[in-house]
Structure 1
Amino acid sequence: MFSKKIPFYFFYLFLFFSFEKIYSQQSYEDLRSRYEAKNENDSTALKGINLYLQKAKRENNLTEQIQGYRDATFFSPDKGTKLKYADSAIAIAKKTDNKELTSTVYLLKGSLYYFYYKNYQSALAEYLKAYQYSKDSKDDYLTYKIIYQMGLVKSYLGYYHEAIEHFKESISYFEAKTKGDYHPNALYNAQKGYLNSLHQLAVCYKNTQDYKKADSIINIGLHISSKSTDFSLEKAYFLKCKGISEFNHKNYNASRNFLLQALPVLNKNEDFYWSSVSDFYIGKNYLSLGKEDFAIKQFEKVDSIFQKRKFIVPELLENYHFLIKYYQKKKNVEKELEYSKKLLKADSIFSKDFNYLSARIHKDYDKQILEESKTKLEARNKLNIGTIILLVSVLILLAILAWRFYNNAQSIKLKYHELEKKLQQQTKPVLPSYENITNYGKSVLSEDIFMDLQNKLKEFEATGNFKENGLTIDQLATTFRTNKSYLSQYINDVKGMNFSKYLSTLRINYITKLMYENPQYLRLKIQGLANECGISSRQNFSDLFLEINNIRPTDFIKQRRKELEEGKISGSAGS
């Protein structure tokens, strides 16, 4: 029986290799033409992409491998798989010397974090890497895509005036590319970039309460996006903006109609950011029209999006204010408590990334709660002695905690200013001559070896090669074409420390200078900062930062942010 199946086995094997040979002889353009017209997230394209990647791997064509992985991120319907393909593209790009290509794939990964995960910290980290690789780029389109994406993050963080400048730059670039003798794909990308930049600029103007400028941009965006069905999502964004604008002008029915036109497209594209905002404003319209029960249904819908996505924007905190007040009025203690807890949950999510948002919640809601409690107490007009003792005890405890907090804050401030002074007064160290090293050092190192190591370490520090993760003294000695003993002795004599301490000091000094001079790095998580300077462990980074700078990295970040916000900086740092 087994022998009868053998011919069929060879027959299928023959067919397989025949097809493989056919596909291997096709050009990359031919292979790509089989799937590139399909819609985004269409998994049927992946079969063709696999053939494309197989050809690129056989031919060891790194550029085409990257293109294949980029295509896979576009057509894969699963967001986790998209990230894996992006990581594969990054790994291949690092093997090339093409900085523009590397910048492009980091930008791709940042966009995935932004659009599919709403993970702004991770998105920002990838955008910063993309920016670093694009510094000398001649690809204007890449540069302005990064400018646009950085504007998105700044807008979400609440830095609207900074974001406005980013979007103005991208508008100026993309608008010029929407006309002229360009390839249809280039024209489409430029029009899309232009419309999205207009939308985000309108959002920023609305949040800075410059409604006149916002309305003008919304009308332009609606006019342009309505000309083609290719821009249905962009049109939905402007319809959403128009709906919010009409609400601000107290045209509640018109506002609701615009928002209802936008919602189906936003939901279809799974843009839960703007879907939740649109649902919230529909609720506010119902509330303004006296239809409270309809409004509450909308507000509960917004809450359901938050519970599912674990994502909320600052203006939607008011959503919980409405729900809590409604159930207070209905004397439904269970529901009031439920939404109070959900508000605290939203607070905890915000406080991880945005301290000022957490402070705003406490300012807006705690004050109101205290005032309501005071009214209730006055109405009752009686407090038993146990309650009074408890309140006094709490006040004393709060006073002690406040005093400790004040002392700690003053200590942190002093340590920060000492480090700041050191950063501002940094000068190039004067390297000792061969004559000034120890006698034992001279017995190990000849003057020629000494000078060779001095030149190589100087270049090592200048190029930032110390950021390589997992670097050992053996690896560096091999790179320098010397031995470990010579290198160790030189570092001990000249730097006054062992190799491990020397490497840690270089890395911490490097990242500290970046954090001080570039506010973008203040928004990275501790692990992101550690990765940036070549330290793998978050805890190890924090311990080394404290040991070398005499201040914890989290305290340094808070103090630096505070000084930047208050304008108490020397003017060296830019955004």
Structure 2
Amino acid sequence: MKIKNLSIIYVIILLLTGEFVVAQDNYIELVNLIRKEKVDSLKVKIAQTHLNSAIRKSDTLNMANAYLFLSLYQPSKKVAYIDSVISITKSKNYLRFPSVSYLQKGVIKYELGQYIEALELYVKASEAAKKSGNDRIYLIAKFNIGLLKNMSGDREEALTIFNEYINFIEQKPEHQDQFNYNRVLFALADSYIHTKDLALAKTTIEKGIKETLKTNDSTVYSYILVTSGIHQYLLNNYSKAIDSLKKGKKLITKFDDSETRIATCDYYIGRSYKDLGNEEKSIFHFKKADTILRKTKDVIPDIINIYDYLKAFAKSENNYELQLEYLNTQLELDSIRHANQVSLTRNITKKYDAAELKSEKEKLIKQFERDTFLKNNTINFLITLSIILVLIAIYGFRKSYLNKIRFQKLLKEQKQPKVDQSEIIKNVNEELTKKPDIDIPTDVIETILKKLHDFEDKKQFAKKHYTLNSLAKELQTNSAYLSKIINVYKNVNFANYLNNLRIDFAVDQLSSNKSLRSYTIQAIAEEVGFKNAQSFSSAFHKKTGIYPSYFIKHIKP
């Protein structure tokens, strides 16, 4: 069940506690005056009087206090008042400001379904609270983030957050009030339901019912009653589930304007009737939930699969047009759900991914077209799809073939006999007569080339991260000479010269050293002289045409 309209109440209760701004006695005076009044217009008048006084005194803190109360009792100007609080306190570090104003604006965004913006504001509230050392607001902001996670399906992480918050309340009586406590119990019960911990869900639901009845908290009582119905459904007690869900639904319609809660009730009532074998009542409630979802576009991950039942019903009636309509609605709502969830949690799950839904839609379209003798579009679609699949297959086969050829070539080159030292010295002398004059004394070139061959032969390139200057210093020459000689006699620049040596060494080692193949790519990279796996993989592919992971996978054990 989606926990909505809950976080706004937290902020209101937060603002009505006596622990707000210790440094300002007139805040407590403002709280006490407002609490005495029963009519909102008189509360607004008191807050406005305090605001005018604070403005005359340039008292930023009390201006913020007054604006915040005005935002509570003048809903039409709520956003403007909260923005005023943020504007005058964003550079301050008061105990409760600007964290409370960020929190309250986040709640507004949440209620509008603007979840990404809500998350950003909750994060700001959390950061401001941490900066001012206000643990309570920090945990309330975190709790609201937990509500977002819960809504998006990240139940386990949300459950951890809720438990952290309820422990904070229970361990610090000065922060505890029954109103908050009831709602945390509801959030916990809801999370236990969705993490399938039915034993803890049962305990928490019973505790929540007891506490809400004791305090006459009819709002949360109705929510927990619905959660109890869902719990009974999961226990296969379908008749009890229907009873609790209908009672909860009736209570919710009296004071909660959130139609999504009603949709949740209808969904689980429908599921219960279906499992009892009453198809007619089941479809009736699924259709009621569908009507609400189409109207509000407020997608609840738990109940979006009503369309699986509705599509199956339409199919059983041979109504392909209605089946397609339900599928299109499911696709639209699933798209909205995905957009809302994408930045809220890194572990988002959904029943159907876009590709599966689109594929199902295409099948329904083809069925509909066959039944109405519109076959041309189907044939064109199949031809286009076949061409795409053939092109994809050709690309895949070609890539696989080229990788195989490159792999075999690499193995063949690796197995060729190594040139001995005497041949290397002979080649150096021949190179000196063939290469163009590079304005470096011949004896210097010969000396550096021999030292480079010695550097290569001893595999020094794999021992540390060389730069042009560090290698020149080691070879007792200067970087300008070394760079020219490598460019002319090795036909590559210095960076590629080192990379090529290391890749050849890596190929040789991976071919002969079986244990090295069990290393991670990062570890192999470090073994042959690279700083990280990315640079190693890039250099390996550049020289060989394949990646090291492919080479390791296909080399003989």
Normalising by the smaller structure, the TM-score range is 0.5 to 0.7
Partner of 2:237: 251
User: What CA deviation, in whole Å up to 9, does each residue of 1:26-84 have, x standing for no partner?
Assistant: x76666555446689x5674344333322322232222221222222322344xx3222
The answer for the alignment partner of 2:192 in structure 1 is 205
Assess if the C-alpha contact under 8 Å between 2:320 and 2:364 holds in 1.
no
- Give the letter aligned to residue 318 of structure 1: N
Amino acid in structure 2 at the alignment position of 1:299: F
Cross-structure match for 2:385: 394
In 1, the alpha carbon distance for the partners of 2:194 and 2:397 equals 34
1:403–1:125 distance in 2 versus 1, CA, 3 Å: farther
1:266 has 2:252 as partner: yes
Q: After the TM superposition, which of the residue ranges 89-98 and 166-175 deviates more from structure 2? A: 89-98
- Please state if 1:139 is matched with 2:131: no
Residue number in structure 1 paired with 2:352: 360
2:156 aligned with 1:157: no
Residue 319 of structure 2 corresponds to: 332
Aligned to 1:193: 180
Measure, in 2, the Cα distance between the counterparts of 1:156 and 1:187. Answer: 25
CA contact 1:28–1:52 (8 Å) conserved in 2? no
- For 1:327 and 1:306, locate their aligned partners in 2 and report how far apart those are by CA, in whole Å: 18
Aligned AA (1:83): V
Q: 2: distance between equivalents of 1:57 and 1:120?
A: 34
Stretch deviating more after TM superposition (283-292 or 312-321): 283-292
Describe the superposition over 1:174-213 as per-residue Cα deviations: whole angstroms up to 9, x where unpaired: 12345xxx5xxx543xx33332222222222222222222
Which 5+ residue runs of structure 2 have no aligned equivalent?
Answer: 1-25, 343-347, 399-557
Structure 1 Cα separation of the partners of residues 393 and 195 of structure 2: 34
Match of 1:57 among 55, 66, 71: 55
3-state SS of 1:312 partner: coil
Q: Does 1:109 align with 2:105?
A: yes
Is 1:62–1:96's contact at 8 Å kept on the other side of the alignment?
Answer: no
Residue aligning to 1:299: 286
Per-residue displacement from partner, 1:445-504 (whole Å, max 9, x unpaired)? Answer: xxxxxxxxxxxxxxxxxxxxxxxxxxxxxxxxxxxxxxxxxxxxxxxxxxxxxxxxxxxx
Q: Which amino acid aligns with 1:360?
A: Y
Aligned length: 366
With over 3 angstroms needed to count, the CA separation of the structure-2 counterparts of 1:290 and 1:197, relative to structure 1, is same
Shift of 1:289: 3.0
**Is 2:314–2:320's contact at 8 Å kept on the other side of the alignment?**
yes
* Distance (whole Å) between structure 1 residues aligned to residue 113 and residue 219 of structure 2: 18
CA contact (8 A) 1:69 1:85 kept: yes
User: 1:237 and 1:334 mapped to 2: Cα distance?
Assistant: 37
Match of 1:166 in 2: 161
| Unmatched 5+ stretches in structure 1 | 1-26, 408-575
Kindly state the Cα deviation for residue 158 of structure 1 after the two structures are TM-superposed.
2.1
Q: 1:242 offset after TM fit, Å? A: 0.5
Matched-pair contact (CA < 8 Å) for 2:331–2:357 = no
Q: Which amino acid in structure 1 is aligned with residue 94 of structure 2?
A: N
Is the counterpart of residue 319 in structure 1 residue 306 in structure 2?
Answer: yes
Q: Secondary structure at 1:290's aligned position in 2?
A: coil
Change (3 A) 1:224 1:396: same
Alpha-carbon distance in 1 for matches of 2:289, 2:247: 18
Give the C-alpha shift of residue 312 in structure 1: 1.0
8 Å Cα contact 2:232-2:238 kept in structure 1: yes
Instruction: Identify which of 322, 336, 345 aligns with 1:349.
Output: 336
Percent of aligned pairs with the same amino acid: 27
Are the equivalent residues in 1 in contact too, given 2:266–2:286 (CA < 8 A)?
Answer: yes
CA 397–249 in structure 1, closer or farther in 2 if over 3 Å, else same: same
Higher alpha-carbon deviation: 105-114 or 130-139: 130-139
How far apart, CA to CA, are the structure 2 residues paired with 1:255 and 1:239? Answer: 10
Does 2:75 correspond to 1:118? no
Deviations 1:261-306 (A, max 9, x none): 2224433122344332122112222323333333333222222322
Amino acid at match of 1:169: E
Contact 2:159 2:191 in 1 (8 A): yes
Question: In structure 1, what is the Cα distance between the partners aligned to 2:390 and 2:101?
Answer: 52
Matches within 5 A, 1:39-54: 45-54=43-52
CA displacement, residues 88-116 of structure 1 (integer Å, 9 cap, x when unaligned)? 211121253426411121112112222x2
Would the aligned equivalents of 1:351 and 1:357 in 2 still touch at CA under 8 Å? no
TM-score by length of 2: 0.58
Shift of 1:129: 0.7
Q: Is the 8 A contact 2:299 2:333 kept in 1?
A: yes
Q: How does 1:141-540 map to 2 (within 5 A)?
A: 141-178=136-173, 182=174, 187-188=176-177, 191-229=178-216, 231-267=217-253, 268-354=255-341, 356=348, 360-362=352-354, 365=357, 390-398=381-389, 400=391
Change over 3 Å in CA distance of 1:405–1:211 after alignment to 2: farther
Tell me how far apart the structure 2 counterparts of residues 384 and 232 of structure 1 sit (CA, whole Å). Answer: 58
Q: Tell me the residue number matched to 1:534.
A: none
Which residue, out of 64, 81, 85, partners 1:85?
81
* Matched AA of 1:135: K
Cα separation, partners in 2 of 1:211 and 1:77, compared to 1, 3 Å = same
Query: Contact 1:203/1:241 (CA < 8 Å) preserved in 2?
Result: yes
Deviation at residue 390 of structure 1 after TM alignment: 4.7
The 3 A distance-change label for structure 1 pair 395 and 169 is same
Question: How far apart are 1:124 and its partner, in Å?
Answer: 0.6
Question: How many angstroms apart in 2 are the aligned matches of 1:366 and 1:389?
Answer: 17
Q: 1:51 to 1:303 in 2, by over 3 A?
A: farther
- TM-score (normalizing by structure 1): 0.56
Secondary structure, aligned partner of 1:360: coil
Tell me if structure 2 keeps the 8 A contact 1:276–1:302.
Answer: yes
State how far apart, in whole Å, the 2-side matches of 1:32 and 1:402 are.
Answer: 72
2:481 aligned partner: none
Shift, 1:217, TM fit: 1.5
Describe the shift of the 1:295–1:144 C-alpha distance in structure 2 as closer, same or farther (beyond 3 A).
same
Larger radius of gyration: 2
Q: Which amino acid aligns with 1:51?
A: T
- Contact kept? 2:60, 2:89, Cα under 8 Å: yes
Q: Aligned in 2, Cα 1:165/1:357: closer, same or farther, shift over 3 Å?
A: closer
CA shift digits 1:359-397 (9 cap, x unpaired) = 7344775676789899x79x99xx999966752431322
Cα gap change, 1:347 to 1:385, in 2 (>3 Å): closer
Q: Which amino acid aligns with 1:157?
A: S
Change in CA separation of 1:373 and 1:269 when aligned onto 2, cut-off 3 Å: closer
Deviation at 1:244, TM superposition (A): 0.0
8 Å CA contact retained: 1:350, 1:358: no
Given the superposition, is the C-alpha separation of residues 397 and 154 from structure 1 closer, same or farther in structure 2, using an over 3 Å criterion?
A: same
The aligned residue for residue 455 of structure 1 is none
Q: Distance in 2 between matches of 1:403 and 1:154?
A: 43
- Give the letter for the 1:330 counterpart: E
Change (3 A) 1:299 1:74: farther
Structure with bigger RCO (C-alpha 8 Å, 6+ apart): 2
